[in-house]
Structures are given as structure tokens and as C-alpha cells.
Chain A
Amino acid sequence: MSDRDLVVLGVGMHPWGKWGRDFTEYGMVAARAALKDAGIEWKDVQYVAGADTIRNGYPGFIAGATFAQKMGWTGARVSSSYAACASGAMSLQTARASILAGFCDVAMVIGADTTPKGFFAPVGGGDRKNDPDWLRFHLLGATNPVYFALFARRRMDLYGATSEDFAQVKVKNSLHGLNNPNARFRKESAIEDVLNSPVVSDPLRLLDICATSDGAAAMIVTSRAFAEKHLGSLKGVPRIKAVSTSTPTYPQTILELPDFATDSSAVVMPPARGFKDSICWDAYEEAGVGPEDLSMAEVYDLSTALELDWYEHLGLCAPGEAESLLRSGATTIGGRIPVNPSGGLSCFGEAIPAQAIAQVCELVWQLRGQAGDRQIENAKLGITANQGLFGHGSSVIVGI
């Protein structure tokens, strides 16, 4: 075990769904579940790293304090992080830094959200002509699915991907999540179901695109010393081996949500690794492992086609080969490298601040052999991959 490993003592979630209740209610359920799983008391938590939600007023912006107060003030230190979809990873990194620096031994990482119906729209009212997120809606009507569609279309025009290929991702993930008690959508999808769903942002259909959900996830991470004292032995106990929160390197030459344009490559050569590759490879390098060492991956399938992109960014296959890898069955549970054994966003929908934490929860259950009928045999090492808008990378490696 590396000196920089963090022990995951407990994980917990509130199931994903759409109820419109106060986000802190969901968070409390996840927090209590993680504490119980860890076998510790709330008063043992010295640090609360909250992942923020920006659609739930002031309490959402100060998530660390919000949950610390809701659980009952204990004097614990808090932090609140916002990095869009990567907020959970940023919170984990904050907790990790505090533990590795020796400032505390036991931290809770927590995120919860309540989402509105329909397309995500800019947060807050009024004209904001200097806010690119407001402007992309106002001037272009460039919703999030538009950006997902741009990536999907490139796979089609450059690599010959088909709508059937994209639908196959949904079929796979729907099977994975079928009996996941925390998943919101637990229904088998056939290729035809996807192809018969309405086109939202061509070439993507409704069932290619993830929904927005309510949900919460929490975990208890600790120093090695605390865990050894608490558990006796750390054999088979999942450990965080890397957290990558990379930002892009100039020039960023791929058009990413929510930008109007890329950086310019006219006078500065693009980096050898593009942004999304670097998110994953920074994590590999930190953990001292490579894609060949993985038992599984949880990736951010905002759309079916984006899951295929992640296969390539993670180095599971060469660019242009993701469709073949999918069709070979390698990324299905039972295959060489199962992807999204939880069912992914396809079965969950996105609860932004909770999602990157939920990805880690799934790896932990798999590594402990507690994933029920979606269990990956002999799982030893997993990676999560995700990206938050405005240049936030998120990749976590967990192993036993």
C-alpha cells in the first residue's frame, strides 16, 4: 500500500429518482448509510467535503457546511467545492489533501442534488452578456445535448459509427443497471426502443441522452493509520490510489461544452495528449498503473456515444475502435473490461454533485464483492472518468 493511498471505509447512496424534495434530505440518507457502512459515528468525522449544487439556493453553494449543520454541528472543518460534473472528485481531492497533509484522519465526502425538469438552462435570471454559459443558450440555443451530438456525429462521419452502435451502449447499460437498487431506470432496453425514441439533438435520440435526476452519494475516507486501528487488517479494503482533477493544457483544440470556440493552434502546438486523454492518464501515472491493469471502469455516459469516446480516452482501445470493442462484448459484465457495471448515467440520470462520488461508490462495492448480480468476478482495480464543464477533469482509481 502506497503512503499516499486513502482508505475508503464506507460508502452510501440515496437512490436516484425524481421527487423534487429538498436535496439535503437525500444527502442525509447517503451520509447515514456511509457512516453505518464505515462503522463509525458522526462525531468521528473531522472534515466534511461537500460537493456543491448550484440549483438549490445558498445551502447548495456551501454544501460542506449545509450537511455539517444538518447532521448536527460538531466543530468539524468543512469545505465546499464546485466543478460542475467533476464537483464530487474535487471534494474527494480536498478531503484527500487534508488527510495526506496530516490535518485530519477521517473525512466525509458528500454530494446531493434536486434537479429541475427538462433541459438544463443557465442558472439565475437576467441578461448576462459576459457569461458564455448564458450566451450559448441565447445566441445559439446550444443545449448540452447539442455538444453531445457534435461528438456523436464525429464518430459517425469519421469512424462509420451507426445509431445502432449508440443504441447498443444503452442496451448494455440497461442490462447492467437492471437490478441496481440505487438506479432510477431499471428497465431493459432493446435496440429498437432506442431507435424508436424521438431525436432530440440529431443524431442523438431521447434514450441516447441521460436524464437529470435527484440523488445523493457519500463516502468516508480515512488515513491508513486510522483505518488500521479501526479495522485491524486492511486486506481487501478498497483504497483510493489516484485522483486526477486535471485542467486542459493550451491550446484546447476540441470544442467542449459550453464554449463557442476552441483555443487557437495557430502559433502553439497542441499538447501530445488532448484534455480528456490527460484526465485519465494523469490518474494512471499517479497510481502507477495502466489500462491493462483495470478490472472495470465507470465513465460519464452523458450520451451513449460519449461512453464510446471514453473507451478511447482511457486507452481501452485505439481511436476509432470503440464500436468494435463494444460489439465484442468486452465492455459488458463478464467481458474483459466491463464499463459502467452500475448501469451508468443511462440508468441513473445525472445528479451533478453526487455523480462522481457515486462512480467511486460502485467501484468500492465491486471491489468488496458486494455488487450482487452485477458483480464483476475477481475485481481488483477500477477507474472512474468524468469531466465537468469549464475544464474540470475527474478521474479516480480505486484498488484493493
Chain B
Amino acid sequence: MSETATSNASQVPAVEGWFTLDQNPHLIGSQCPSCETYVFPPRESACPNPACDSDELKPTPFSRFGTVWSYAENRYAPPLPYRAAEPFEPYALVAVQLEKEGIIVLGQAPKGILATDLKVGMRMQLETDVLYREDDVDYMIYVWAPAVQDEVVGGAK
């Protein structure tokens, strides 16, 4: 979902190491090599499973597809440190359940996808979008977009 980015702006992630910026973006989580539980946002140490004493977590790609757990739509500009565009346009936030990882991850929806376009249980896929632009650099963020039909049939990447 990079149509809002212009070609002369370079793209960097707004947060390091949470997602990829390629054609088929996916979240990068962590997995415990010992008990195999998953963690998001990613980190390098301290397995959260109380029955596991591993202090090492390894980066792992998360499923690109999931289902809507719930969603909301911001009608007012959030306060700083959110860099709201002016004039402010409402946008949706979506919490998506990833089956294999057993995790729900909150993200924005792409610009233009609002609450009326969403429903609990809907299939979603990970994309990226511009969070804000500064000095000709687009700071990118992962977003949850309604899944494209043929990719649903084809299964998660």
C-alpha cells in the first residue's frame, strides 16, 4: 500500500526490526528456541513463558494473514508523539488474530479503510503504509488490510 508515497521519497521503517518492507511484507516477531512460544513486538531476551527459563529469543517471520479480532476508528487526531497529518483524516485500527502464532496484533488499517469496511472474523493481510513524512523521507508502518481474495485461496505466505 505504498501508493501514497511518491517515488522521490525514500522509505524507512518508523520502528526498527518489527516488519519487512518488501513486496510481501510480514511482521518479524520473536520465538523462544526452547519452548517455542512467540513474542511481539520482537525482543532478544527473556522468554515470557513462566515455565521456561530461556533468556534467548530469536527473530522469526510471522504469518502474513489473520482474522479481525476487533477494530476501532479514530475520529480525532491523537496527541503527540503521534504525527497526525493536517487536516486530520479519520483512520481505523485493527486487532488481528494470527492463528499459528496464537497472538493478536494491533495495527492501523491502510488510509481509506474505515470501520464500516471491517467486521470481526474478516480475513486480513499485512501491508505497509506511510506513517508520516519528514525531510523527504517516508516513515513506514505495518498496516492490516482486507485480504485479497486469491491470496486467501492460495494460503498464507
Which A positions have Cβ atoms within 8 angstroms of B? Answer: 118-119, 121-122, 127, 129, 132, 134-143, 145-147, 149-151, 153-154, 157-158, 198-203, 250-251, 253, 255, 259-268
- Check B108 against A264 for contact (C-beta < 8 Å): no
- Chain B residues, Cβ within 8 Å of A121: 79-81
- Check B75 against A201 for contact (C-beta < 8 Å): yes
Of B14, B72, B76, which one neighbours A153 at CB under 8 angstroms? B72
The docked-state distance in angstroms from the alpha carbon of A384 to that of B74 is 30
Query: Taking A202-B115, A253-B104 as contacts, is the C-beta distance between A122 and B81 under 8 angstroms?
Result: yes
The docked-state distance in angstroms from the alpha carbon of A194 to that of B35 is 49
- Check A263 against B75 for contact (C-beta < 8 Å): no
Distance between A117 CB and nearest chain B CB, rounded to angstroms? 11
The docked-state distance in angstroms from the alpha carbon of A139 to that of B131 is 7
Count A-B contacts at CB 8 Å. 147
Interface majority SS on B: helix, strand, loop or mixed? loop
Q: Which 10 A-B pairs have the closest CB atoms?
A: A149-B72, A141-B78, A202-B73, A266-B102, A157-B120, A265-B102, A121-B79, A264-B38, A141-B82, A150-B70
- Check B120 against A199 for contact (C-beta < 8 Å): no
B141 within 8 A of A: yes
- Chain A residues, Cβ within 8 Å of B76: 119, 200
Which B positions have Cβ atoms within 8 angstroms of A? Answer: 14-15, 35-41, 48-51, 69-84, 90-93, 95, 100-108, 114-115, 119-121, 131, 141
The docked-state distance in angstroms from the alpha carbon of A132 to that of B74 is 19
Distance between A84 CB and nearest chain B CB, rounded to angstroms? 18
The docked-state distance in angstroms from the alpha carbon of A36 to that of B40 is 51
- Check B37 against A268 for contact (C-beta < 8 Å): yes
Distance between A195 CB and nearest chain B CB, rounded to angstroms? 15
The docked-state distance in angstroms from the alpha carbon of A154 to that of B69 is 8
Q: List 10 A-B contacts (CB under 8 A).
A: A150-B70, A153-B115, A154-B69, A158-B120, A199-B73, A250-B50, A260-B106, A264-B38, A264-B39, A268-B37
- Check B37 against A264 for contact (C-beta < 8 Å): yes
Residue of B nearest to A135 (CB): B15
Residue of B nearest to A153 (CB): B70
- Check A146 against B39 for contact (C-beta < 8 Å): no
The docked-state distance in angstroms from the alpha carbon of A151 to that of B101 is 22
Query: Taking A129-B15, A157-B119, A261-B40 as contacts, is the C-beta distance between A267 and B108 under 8 angstroms?
Result: no
- Check A201 against B79 for contact (C-beta < 8 Å): no
